[in-house]
Amino acid sequence: MDFPPFMHSEFFIMKTLIIPTYLGTEIQIPDDYPIPPVGVDFWINFHRFTPPEDWNLVRRVLEDNSLSVSVVDGDRIYLQEGSVEHEVEDYREIFLRYWEKNPDTRPPGI
């Protein structure tokens, strides 16, 4: 899989998703991507943004679990396995609007 061209440009500010649990994976996403509150599942097309060498590890996690926001530290968002909070309807509309403008970021099946 080729990465989107914007991921290789120094002209774009990116946010970094960090999956610290045994993966140690960092994923660059667009700076304007909406970030849900701590404890809420993080929805994005992980396959599109995960470095190819890390995709199998991330895919295995997503097969059995979700990834939710654990800590937001500026432009670094730490994710954890599992959900703490299940009230996602308040945030779904924000994601749907973003995905309409940026369909390549929409996770499969949502």
Say yes or no to pLDDT of 18 above 80: yes
Q: Are the CB atoms for 18 and 55 separated by under 8 Å?
A: no
**Per-residue pLDDT averaged across 71-87, rounded?**
82
**Per-residue pLDDT averaged across 66-82, rounded?**
90
- CA-nearest of 79, 82, 72, 70 to 26 is 79
- Cα–Cα distance measured from residue 78 to residue 51, given in angstroms and rounded to the nearest whole number: 17
Q: What is the pLDDT of residue 23?
A: 66
Q: What is the pLDDT of residue 9?
A: 45
Q: How many residues does the chain have?
A: 110
Q: What is the pLDDT of residue 22?
A: 60
Q: Are the CB atoms for 70 and 80 separated by under 8 Å?
A: yes
Q: What is the pLDDT of residue 3?
A: 47
Q: Match 């660059």 to its residue by tokens.
A: 28
